[in-house]
């Protein structure tokens, strides 16, 4: 079961396909609960929602509030326990979409993240070949500057993950990141995350003072990673394959459904390894096994991923889909990246991973005050 946002014709057609309906109704708008349980679907119809049936499930249509209220009325009333459980799950998902988990719900081992605003994770690349800023600065100086500009977290990486990047040995990655993390944890008061898919690098980074492991493979690359990261907080990103071949795997018949399912599998790997859920944030992985159209659609319907109940970290900064829209080269994508950040914040993102911290913080100050206003 899941909630699907219907903003346009393409969303409506996809939702009909997900339910297995032969004839798509392109005019559906608002939200749909895709419900496999026939008893719950019939209950939602009796509770007043329009329900369209298909061989793979039913689409119960309405606003989030209507869907939540209908599910609540059934959570006690239905005869079968399985159907009551499905109604409770639908209520939980609708509540999470209505109030996406904020950054402050991401519990770190040593720091408490600020409440009441969208948070900023500043990118510190200790790499010679990152797509937008490889080798362009001294990473320690860069980290200190991003801290001054108002970053809430510093994300240090020693291996580029851009499409077709050359892989780096663990020893070289450690050599790049250890001194940077040691200095930044000594000279700033910020939590530091290590952007790596390798357990040995994560362990060295945690020893050097990092407390978050940002694994772009969502714990799928290195079987030792869960053990290495057990005492840390985790950012689990969605991708498929490796940076060398991920773009050949950017094929989805149900983009949101598949990304959501694969993020749930990453969450389960973390839980099975003993990482408490409060320590985990999720990331849809813009640019990783995604086409430009996939990136735009994930950004537009980001709120849907809030139903997973965990804070969402999103990295749109300077990525190629911003270059496609603006015609700008990577270092000149600040304005486009800030526009994406504002849209992401209003679509439920909790933490934005960005290269341009000062500009993003300033724009988010406006976005957050509008979002939380009331008169
Ligand atoms: N994007 C990049 C790297 N790490 N981690 C998360 N959680 N989310 C992202 O979107 C993400 C990430 C790619 O950006 P960058 O670090 O600037 O480039 P490179 O991988 O070439 O070093």
pLDDT single digits (tens) 115-149: 999 999 999 999 988 777 778 889 999 999 999 99
245 has pLDDT over 90: no
Q: Is the pTM of this model over 0.85?
A: yes
The pair of three-digit structure tokens given for residue 125, joined into one six-digit string? 């690349």
pLDDT of residue 133: 77
Mean pLDDT of 99-119: 98
Greatest pairwise CA separation for the chain in angstroms: 64
Q: Which helix (H) or strand (E) holds 352?
A: strand 351-354
Q: Point out which residues pair with 192 in neighbouring strands.
A: 154
pLDDT of residue 150: 98
Q: In angstroms, rounded to a whole number, what is the distance separating the alpha carbons of residues 97 and 111? A: 26
Mean pLDDT of 244-256: 91
DSSP-derived pairing of the beta strands 30-35 and 57-62: antiparallel
162 has pLDDT over 90: no
Residue 161 Cα, ligand 1 centroid: separation in angstroms? 6
Q: Please compute, for residue 368, the number of CA atoms within 13 A of its CA located in the half-sphere on the CB side.
A: 19
Q: Is-catalytic flag, 319? A: yes
pLDDT single digits (tens) 51-69: 999 999 999 999 999 999 9
Q: Which atom of ligand 1 is nearest to the CA of 159?
A: 22
Residue 315 Cα, ligand 1 centroid: separation in angstroms? 7
Catalytic residue among 176, 319, 333, 361: 319
Residue 152 falls in which region: left (phi positive, over 0), alpha (psi -120 to 50) or beta: alpha
Residue 225: phi and psi, rounded to 5, are -65, -40
Residue 227 Cα, ligand 1 centroid: separation in angstroms? 23
The pair of three-digit structure tokens given for residue 352, joined into one six-digit string? 């934005």
Contact 155, 193 (CB under 8 A): yes
- Please give the DSSP secondary-structure letter assigned to residue 312: B
Contact 310, 282 (CB under 8 A): yes
Q: In angstroms, rounded to a whole number, what is the distance separating the alpha carbons of residues 353 and 283? A: 10
Q: Is-catalytic flag, 353? A: yes
pLDDT single digits (tens) 298-319: 999 999 999 999 999 999 999 9
Report the nearest-CA residue for atom 3 of ligand 1. Answer: 161
If one residue of 119, 130, 195 were mutated to test the ligand 1 pocket, choosing by the most ligand atoms within 8 A of its CB, it would be 195
Which residue shows structure tokens 């086409």?
A: 291
pLDDT of residue 136: 81
DSSP sequence for 65-133? HHHHHHHHHHHHH-SSHHHHHHHHHHHHHHHHHHSPPPGGGS--SS--PPSSS-EEEEEEE--S--TTT
Residue 97 Cα, ligand 1 centroid: separation in angstroms? 26
If one residue of 157, 286, 289 were mutated to test the ligand 1 pocket, choosing by the most ligand atoms within 8 A of its CB, it would be 157
pLDDT of residue 302: 98
Mean pLDDT of 80-85: 94
Catalytic residue among 93, 290, 301, 353: 353
pLDDT of residue 328: 98
């Amino acid at each position: 079961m899941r909630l699907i946002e219907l903003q346009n014709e393409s969303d409506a057609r996809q939702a009909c396909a997900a339910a297995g309906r032969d004839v798509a109704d392109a005019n559906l708008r608002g939200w749909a609960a895709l419900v496999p349980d026939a008893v719950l679907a019939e209950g939602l119809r009796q509770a007043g929602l329009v329900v369209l049936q298909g061989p793979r499930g039913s689409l119960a249509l309405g606003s989030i509030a209507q869907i939540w209220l209908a599910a609540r009325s059934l959570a006690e009333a239905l005869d079968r326990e399985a159907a009551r459980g499905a109604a409770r799950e639908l209520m939980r998902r609708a509540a999470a979409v209505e109030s996406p988990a904020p950054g402050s719900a991401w519990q770190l081992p040593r720091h408490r993240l600020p409440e009441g605003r969208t948070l900023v994770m500043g990118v510190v690349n200790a790499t010679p070949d990152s797509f937008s800023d490889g080798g362009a600065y001294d990473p320690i100086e860069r980290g200190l500057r991003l801290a001054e500009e108002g970053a809430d977290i510093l994300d240090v990486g020693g291996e580029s993950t851009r499409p077709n990047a050359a892989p780096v040995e663990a020893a070289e990655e450690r050599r790049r990141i250890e001194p940077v993390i040691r200095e930044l944890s000594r000279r700033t008061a910020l939590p530091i995350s290590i952007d790596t898919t390798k357990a040995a690098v994560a362990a060295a980074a945690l020893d050097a003072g990092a407390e978050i492991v940002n694994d772009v493979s969502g714990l799928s690359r290195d079987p030792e990673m869960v053990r290495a990261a057990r005492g840390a907080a985790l950012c689990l990103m969605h991708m498929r394959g490796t940076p060398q071949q991920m773009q050949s795997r950017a094929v989805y018949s149900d983009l949101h459904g598949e990304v959501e399912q694969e993020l749930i599998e990453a969450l389960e790997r973390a839980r099975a390894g003993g990482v408490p859920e409060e320590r985990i944030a999720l990331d849809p992985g813009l640019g990783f096994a995604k086409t430009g159209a996939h990136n735009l659609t994930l950004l537009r319907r980001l709120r849907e991923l809030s139903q997973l109940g965990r804070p969402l970290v999103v990295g749109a900064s300077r990525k190629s889909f911003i270059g496609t829209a603006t015609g700008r080269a990577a270092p000149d994508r600040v304005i486009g990246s800030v526009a994406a950040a504002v849209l992401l914040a209003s679509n439920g993102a909790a933490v934005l991973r960005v290269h341009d911290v000062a500009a993003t913080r300033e724009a988010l100050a406006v976005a957050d005050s509008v979002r939380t206003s009331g008169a």
